[in-house]
Amino acid sequence: MKVKIPEKLKTIDIFHPYILIIAILLFIIISIPIIYFSNELPRPSPYLYLYISIGILFFIIGCLLPKILTHFSKKFKNKLIAIKSLKVGNKESLKRNKELITLMVVIIGILLQVMNLIYLGGIPLFSGTLKAQAATKLWLFSYIFFIIGINLLLAKGNRKSNYILLIIGLFLFVLTGYRTTPIAILLSVFITLYYSKDIKIKYQLIFLSLIAILLITIGFIAIQSIEWQHWRLNALELISYRAGFTLNILDKATRLAGSTHGSLFYYTLTGFFNSVDPRVLVGSAVLGESKSITATIFGPAILDFGVVGMSIQMFLIGFILKLLHLLQKHAKKIATAFYGIILGHTIIWIETGPTDIIVWIFYLIGIAIIIYYFLKVKIKNNNLNNSKSDGD
């Protein structure tokens, strides 16, 4: 018996930037059992939810700004429409060359990860000691190459071999024992396919179920494999505990607003040139211990610059995501791939916080893509105007 999907449900844009708000609320809901119905963690203060509300408010304002510009600025609206008609590399030979280069990027990413596992001498998923050593420079570059390459491949083409490469790469990153990288790969790919291919509702549900299962499984196996930790909670309870603990860290961070004086942001942006982990700085600032601690998407900015810094950060995230969202609808391909990558990582930031240099690099690439397309439209319009003038 087939279940009829309402037409209105089919037209909903589930990966509009506002999905971030839903994800934040879902994160809070997941924490409720462990915070309010057990003695495992203390209850956070009401100020926590005030800070979260302010952050969400400025995120919404950032998302609304491009829409306001589209409504009130005819010039801005016309540029978006003009982007749709842009023809970038339509020659078949050029397309094949680009696809071959992208394929090589994906394969390089896979080979670098294989080299990383050989270098470590084991599988970090089953060893806490190896997991602590897994985030090498090889791992870093393999991840950058793979996630960019696989999203570009899937945004441009629909070859079955691309999905085989996705499975191979995903498996290798699962073996590192980190939850965020395989989840980011799956989430970004899902977003990319959602906008570039016509995915049926049942396949969307399968994809989301796979992400949830992977999140629970990797997290549970990795924690149980850490030799110096012993947990009595089951896999689902651990997820609730992780969310509740992270919200408690954010609660403490709100009382220490501005205490790190920008050091978290500095060490995040200079991540390639130093060995300081910003999350360890969060642990030192909030708990007084040198432990890697996450403080949600709001925490690091609050610790660095207070509520003003958090508000600016959330506004900019909303503004950039919405611009990319509008752009990818018209430009497709590379814009869609990077929208998927950036939105996927931003959703993950809800727990981990913006303390990863890689994601900031993706944001910079996203900004460069926006500038590129708007400049290309401007040049095209100037050329058209010059042609008209010559004709006159």
pLDDT for the residue numbered 173: 92
Q: Determine the Cα–Cα distance for residues 305 and 262; give it in Å rounded to an integer.
A: 6
Could you tell me if residue 304 is inside a domain?
yes
Neighbours of 167 (CB within 10 A): 9
Angle at 279 between CA 301 and CA 224, to 5 degrees: 135
pLDDT for the residue numbered 91: 59
Confirm if 188 and 340 have CB atoms less than 8 A apart. yes
Q: Is the confidence at residue 267, as pLDDT, over 80?
A: yes
pLDDT for the residue numbered 219: 59
Could you tell me if residue 388 is inside a domain?
no
Could you tell me if residue 19 is inside a domain?
yes
Confirm if 223 and 229 have CB atoms less than 8 A apart. yes
Please list the helix, strand and coil fractions of the chain in percent, rounded to the nearest 5, in that order.
75, 0, 25
pLDDT level of residue 218 (50, 70, 90 thresholds): low
Could you tell me if residue 115 is inside a domain?
yes
Could you tell me the CA-to-CA distances from 230 to 34, 220, 223, 225, 246 in Å, in that order?
18, 12, 8, 9, 19
Closest by Cα among 267, 322, 264, 271 to 298: 264
Could you tell me if residue 10 is inside a domain?
no
Could you tell me if residue 8 is inside a domain?
no
Q: Is the confidence at residue 110, as pLDDT, over 70?
A: yes
Range of the domain at 255: 15-70+94-383
pLDDT for the residue numbered 235: 65
Query: Token pair for residue 184?
Result: 């980011």
Could you tell me if residue 127 is inside a domain?
yes
What average pLDDT score do residues 367-379 get?
83
pLDDT level of residue 291 (50, 70, 90 thresholds): confident
Could you tell me if residue 83 is inside a domain?
no
**pTM (2 d.p.):** 0.89
Domain count, the chain: 1
Using one digit for the tens of pLDDT, what is the confidence trace for 60-97? Answer: 999 999 888 887 777 777 777 777 666 555 556 666 78
Confirm if 298 and 53 have CB atoms less than 8 A apart. no
